[in-house]
Structure 1
Amino acid sequence: MDTVLLKEIKHVLLSFPEYWEQDSLLKSKVIDDLRDYRKDLIEKLLDNEKIRNAYTIKISNNYIFRIDDLIDMLRYKSYWDNSYTKYSNEIGLTSEGRYLKYNTDVVVDFPHKDCVLQGGMTNEEVGKKEVFYHKILAKEEIDILLEPKVFINVKKYDVNGEHEVKEFHDSDNLIIKGNNLIALYCLKERFAGKVKLIYIDPPYNTGTDSFKYNDRFTHSTWLTFMKNRLEVSKEFLKDDGVIFIQINDVEMAYLKVLCDEIFGRENYLNTISVRTKSNAGATGGGEDKRLKKNVEYLLCYCKDYNSFKEFNKVYKKVELMSYIKQMENEGKSWKYTSVFKDFGEKVYYKTIKDGSGQDINIYKRINFKTQSISSIAEEENISLEEAYRKYFDRIFTTENSLSSIRTRVREATDNEDNLYSIEYIPVSGKNKGKVTELFYKGKNKRLVNFLKETAEIDENGKMYKKDIYGTLWDGINWNNISREGNVVLPNGKKPEELLKIIIEMATNSGDIVMDYFLGSGTTAAVAHKLGRQYIGIEQLNYGDEDSVARLKNVINGDGSGISSIVNWTGGGSFVYAELYELNQKYVKQIQNLTSEEEIENVIEDIKEKAFLDFKVDIEKITNENSDFASLSLEEKKNILIQVLDANQMYLSYSEIDDFQYEIPESVKQFNHSFYNKS
């Protein structure tokens, strides 16, 4: 697609014959003259209104020429001439004259960090080892690329099946099929500042072909790919929202620095280590010369640290008696071994003040009685487990708490081996605003901690020890997760249990959860079961094993994953929509080619129907006199994709009424509703 701005720049530069060698622009000479502030060149550029508007800042009726922006455009813009060899060689992204796929020098200021890569993520069945990236785009082209697109094949699913939908409501769950960068910009106006949690599981850039996602980026392209998406996704977060990014050690260090820049170091919360596999066995279990990988990482940032409150308390549960046995086997002391058989008579002692001036009422406990849990079991002729269950609410230990309240209580009471309780209303913490009772025991008035505060009994009478999740998450079951949700994804699938922890930790009922690397739909499935609203975006085609199939199973009462834990029985709904493909369908068609015989038909189809890059003469590139016929199938496919106009992959919403696209009225109604247009 020819752009007005490029035409104007070329028109100005054509008035300087020294910048041209036949039809090829001598970019380095232009750049050198711009850096030397060549007066006549700058004057001609600034005389052009469109160039002046694009590359200057007006301050007090004076114009400041953003010369570096124009130089960057000249350096990175592909000017293709009529030479096929030069054309094919110039496809790609460069930095200082080197193509990014050969560039291994990545620092914080990595190549093309200020660019937009529209490229997708597919690694199709033909086994492509390199993703196709579009060219570096100028501002005008970026605006076209990222403007809202048309949604088609819109459906709503609920317990009664599939339905036509003409309106979109703010409370609807949403699944979008299409390039996630484009889709994010389609969603931005409607959902900016409304999402409480973003979880993504992007390509790890491992250099393998284990996943359908392209996983063979170079550092620079991978970082640019991630930067484009993280920057826009930040705009979706509420002020107290958070993002979790799952990654392994290949790019984790680089990603941390990138996220520090995008979200701000002050908004960094944690790096969580998630144990994913068992330890190496007796033989060592190393991977090549390296140690076996047992963990992945979750990088966690908030939108605004001052607005972020705190994570909800989420606990890891272990069967209590097994936990006690494990402590004994490891030679560790299990401290919850005492029982209050009688809390004694509660007698008012005195009132003191806490640090904020609030009352603390102190009570002395007369004739209280304690006994060890083991002696109770022996005395009552019951098992230790039965004793724990019977006296569950009275089992305790004491600790040498360093709190200011304990200090005040100790100073206000005595040094005798007795028991005091207090009642007060905390001004902060989990019991803020509630009347709270605490016990202090012994000569030093040690704080009493009850087992019931760190353990629970479920509806079946089973006792569990609870530990708050910190930054090491182990005990999550990664076995047999490939069929969770009744859809199969052999590699890369995450356990529903993992997403349950994240979603419960970061959100409350009704909050919006987003995942724009949705895959088989784990995030959406768990959010659905937990009563959260969700937005999912996926580009790849998983056939019958995709997120839509999984969510339909969830609505119909899927019993796998966390269903039994949260008592899931079905219900709810979601809306599904696809981005209207233009050139993107030809990209897929080209990628699926398996033989030379298919090439000619595709070329003719592209010539007749596709939107071609205005700088490329496809006839000259593919005719009998060119070198095209001597290329391999893969090389031909690469070239044909590059011939397509990068900005015409999907249909813009502004073109929805164009008769040539034959968009049904119901689809138009949905799009108007989604974009809040009349």
Structure 2
Amino acid sequence: METKLNQEIRTVLEKFDDKYFIEGIVNKNKVIRDLDSYDTDLVKALLLNDELKERFTMEIADATVIKVNDLIDVFEQDEYWQDSYTKYSKKIGLTINGKFLDETSEVVLDFPYKDTVLKASMSKEDTDQDDLRPNEPFLNEVIAREEIDTLLSEKILVSAKKYTSEGSSEVRVISDEDNLILKGNNLLGLYSIRERFTNKVKMIYLDVPYFFKKKIAEDSFKYNSNFRMSTWLVFLKNRIEIARELLSEDGSIWINISDDGMHYLKVLVDSVFGSESFVGTIPRKTRDGKSDVPFNFSQDFDWLLVYTKGVESDAIVGRKIERKYIVTEDFPDRPWRSADLTKQTTAKERENSNFTMVNPKTGKEYPANPKRSWAVTKDTFQSWYDKGGIGFPDDYDFMRGEKPFRRVFKDEDDAKDKPTAVYSDLLLKEFVTTVLTKAKNKSGNDEIDALFGRDEFDYAKPEGLLKAIIEVATKENDFVLDFFMGSATTQAAAMKMNRRFIGIEQMDYINTVSVPRLQKVIEGEQGGISKEVNWQGGGSFVYAELMEKNTGFIKEIVNAKSMTELQAIFKRMLETADFDFRVDLEEIQKDELWQQAIDDQKRLLIKVIDKNQLYYNYSEIDDKNVLDLISSNDYKFNKNFYRDRGE
């Protein structure tokens, strides 16, 4: 039955002839598109219909406003029948606000605080000792724009030194070829290197804090890995967004993630990079099976999510192959190799390649395979042959096989910029063989144990895993970035493979594990992949720290043992610290504070500190009070490091 509304709408649409009809049936998608774009002619025609004007307009301040969304809703229902017993008679699926998912663009990855920035300290000592949390704010990107700008401003770098085979020494200049290690919060560190390294990093590897549904034995990292889902997503979103800026146009990012968080992270990174930039997912064997596991199922894998800023035609991953070439009398100065001369098309699909190939030298005939055609056509055969591009097995006594072959010369291979594709069969034999059998957590732990002793760092990734990734994602002298640096596995592998690197780490073990490990690499240590790549030592890197401001006070407060210590710290805070603008300092200084338990004193002192001022901004470097705190060497290093800003 055709309703009154149905009749009125059809009457209006018929005024446009066949524009909105396909064989007499209303083209709903076309109508919806024109309504959504406020097509002048269509909207005017609808307003001239008294019935539709009454149903789908409203008067505001003497103006007539058309309720386009209501009209669109009508067309998204089945044949816009209002008296139907069911809203959708021909379609089944998921809906949101009454619309099918394929009819709306409103479906997004949504979670609390998603439009915010979270500094998020990585240190358990900073955030979780005796429940002393610094109450880090989620800064809304719109409301707290000024605070975010302050938080993410470039930071002053101090303690700058260069490590070489001769030891360490102060450094005032950093070149574009230097490797770089930064100590400090990784989000703020990334924004500090933004101007210098935007679009220059070829590969990023991230061993991110895993999301665990519940605390388990593996959740024993020395850094803070206890995140709730919404916090975890914000934490990673902030960092992956700036990481994308640093990545080169044909670069790739490889994110190591557990099974619990993998699917959430996949959707999140899709929203940052775009789903079209997803390269693939690779499983990594983490351990041998266990028996004491939930549901009696041992989940022994984590995952590598791979994304790029490039497009499908780019060689995002590739490999260099050591090929064997042949030298023959007919081509004495051009070594060559043989390759397949057929294609995965049938003779019927490619009729111009369905011909019998004849060897011009011997007259021997080679008929086409009806299920796999020649890669050349009958018309192009002679031109290929004259250039040496086609050979026959009866041309040479040593040649095996019974089919003509494509001859590829070494100079042609050498002239190609694009690396050889990483085919799935090769991955199964080489790359995945590594990540499935040779890259377990135990291998990484054993490598650290050999260098320092196991207690120094838990759950290090093995160098072999990073070697496998670096080989297919980079070439020599490319920049590799890892801002969850940990024990410096990425940087160690990169140095041994002649890649440049950047590392960022906040935890204090950077100076007891990470940097000492790289010093050992420079000295020529033979663990990890050293023998495989014939590592003999050498190389260098520049080390610097984000200059602590309020961060130092937080550490002092947490570690204080008595009220007397806290009072001394607070006295110095009143002289140089930045306080939250909501704090009434006069109230804080009253005696009531010191009548409380020491843990309550600590909580209050941490709470009043401005969390956006944990490090000194580079913009403050010429302030007199800052100049008194840094060396002339560090001052000159900063001016050189941020030189692209015209300093």
The answer to whether TM tops 0.5 is: yes
CA distance in structure 1 between the partners assigned to 2:598 and 2:261 by the alignment: 33
Letter in 1 for 2:529: I
CA distance in structure 1 between the partners assigned to 2:491 and 2:462 by the alignment: 12
Indicate the residue corresponding to 1:373 in structure 2: none
Match of 2:436 among 474, 496, 504: 474
Describe the shift of the 1:364–1:641 C-alpha distance in structure 2 as closer, same or farther (beyond 3 A): same
CA distance in structure 2 between the partners assigned to 1:532 and 1:232 by the alignment: 22
Match of 2:286 among 276, 284, 304: 276
Matched, 1:587 2:554: yes
Matched, 1:354 2:360: no
Cα deviation digits, residues 531-572 of structure 1 (max 9, x gap): 000000000001653211111111111111111111111101
CA distance in structure 2 between the partners assigned to 1:492 and 1:596 by the alignment: 38
SS in 2 for 1:492: coil
CA distance in structure 2 between the partners assigned to 1:504 and 1:636 by the alignment: 53
Contact 2:434–2:468 (8 Å) recurs in 1: no
CA distance in structure 2 between the partners assigned to 1:361 and 1:353 by the alignment: 11
Matched, 1:121 2:122: yes
Match of 2:153 among 141, 147, 157: 147
Indicate the residue corresponding to 1:251 in structure 2: 261
CA distance in structure 2 between the partners assigned to 1:621 and 1:279 by the alignment: 55
Cα deviation digits, residues 269-314 of structure 1 (max 9, x gap): 111110010123xxxx132556333111111101122463141238
CA distance in structure 1 between the partners assigned to 2:451 and 2:200 by the alignment: 28
Letter in 2 for 1:520: S
Describe the shift of the 1:670–1:490 C-alpha distance in structure 2 as closer, same or farther (beyond 3 A): closer
Query: What aligned pairs does 1:351-430 form with structure 2 within 5 A after superposition?
Result: 354=376, 357=380, 358-359=384-385, 361-365=390-394, 419-425=402-408
Contact 2:547–2:615 (8 Å) recurs in 1: yes
Query: What aligned pairs does 1:264-343 form with structure 2 within 5 A after superposition?
Result: 264-280=274-290, 285-289=291-295, 291-306=297-312, 308-313=314-319
What TM-score do the two structures reach when normalised by structure 2? 0.65
Indicate the residue corresponding to 2:507 in structure 1: 540
| Structure 1: stretches of 5+ with no match in the other structure | 1-105, 316-344, 370-393, 397-417, 435-453, 456-464
Contact 2:250–2:316 (8 Å) recurs in 1: no
CA apart distance, 1:486? 4.2
Cα deviation digits, residues 309-367 of structure 1 (max 9, x gap): 1412389xxxxxxxxxxxxxxxxxxxxxxxxxxxxx99655798716944453424389
Letter in 1 for 2:110: D
Mean CA deviation greater in 480-489 or 602-611: 480-489
Contact 2:277–2:309 (8 Å) recurs in 1: yes
Describe the shift of the 1:588–1:308 C-alpha distance in structure 2 as closer, same or farther (beyond 3 A): farther
Contact 2:486–2:510 (8 Å) recurs in 1: no
CA distance in structure 1 between the partners assigned to 2:268 and 2:210 by the alignment: 15
CA distance in structure 2 between the partners assigned to 1:616 and 1:170 by the alignment: 44
Match of 1:194 among 168, 180, 200: 200
Describe the shift of the 1:349–1:212 C-alpha distance in structure 2 as closer, same or farther (beyond 3 A): farther
CA distance in structure 2 between the partners assigned to 1:563 and 1:346 by the alignment: 52
SS in 2 for 1:481: helix
CA apart distance, 1:114? 1.1
CA apart distance, 1:579? 0.6
Indicate the residue corresponding to 1:261 in structure 2: 271
Indicate the residue corresponding to 1:239 in structure 2: 249
CA apart distance, 1:249? 1.5
Describe the shift of the 1:366–1:168 C-alpha distance in structure 2 as closer, same or farther (beyond 3 A): closer
Cα deviation digits, residues 381-432 of structure 1 (max 9, x gap): xxxxxxxxxxxxx9x9xxxxxxxxxxxxxxxxxxxxx7244233499x9898
Indicate the residue corresponding to 1:529 in structure 2: 496
Contact 2:164–2:538 (8 Å) recurs in 1: yes
CA distance in structure 1 between the partners assigned to 2:395 and 2:588 by the alignment: 97
CA distance in structure 1 between the partners assigned to 2:125 and 2:486 by the alignment: 15
Mean CA deviation greater in 503-512 or 348-357: 348-357
CA apart distance, 1:621? 4.0
CA distance in structure 2 between the partners assigned to 1:141 and 1:307 by the alignment: 41
Letter in 2 for 1:250: D
Indicate the residue corresponding to 1:567 in structure 2: 534
| Structure 2: stretches of 5+ with no match in the other structure | 1-106, 322-358, 366-373, 418-424
CA distance in structure 2 between the partners assigned to 1:189 and 1:157 by the alignment: 24
SS in 2 for 1:240: strand
Describe the shift of the 1:511–1:600 C-alpha distance in structure 2 as closer, same or farther (beyond 3 A): same
CA RMSD across the alignment: 3.4
Indicate the residue corresponding to 2:178 in structure 1: 172
Match of 1:504 among 471, 479, 486: 471
Q: How many residues are aligned here?
A: 463
SS in 1 for 2:209: coil
Query: What aligned pairs does 1:417-496 form with structure 2 within 5 A after superposition?
Result: 419-425=402-408, 467-470=429-432, 473-477=435-439, 478-479=442-443, 480-483=446-449, 485-486=451-452, 488=454, 489-496=456-463
Matched, 1:654 2:619: yes
Contact 1:481–1:495 (8 Å) recurs in 2: yes
CA distance in structure 1 between the partners assigned to 2:362 and 2:478 by the alignment: 45
Letter in 2 for 1:111: P
SS in 1 for 2:392: strand
SS in 1 for 2:305: strand
CA distance in structure 1 between the partners assigned to 2:204 and 2:268 by the alignment: 17
Describe the shift of the 1:519–1:606 C-alpha distance in structure 2 as closer, same or farther (beyond 3 A): same
Letter in 2 for 1:247: I
The percentage of counterpart residues that share the same residue type is: 38
CA distance in structure 2 between the partners assigned to 1:362 and 1:120 by the alignment: 64
CA apart distance, 1:118? 1.6
Query: What aligned pairs does 1:39-54 form with structure 2 within 5 A after superposition?
Result: none
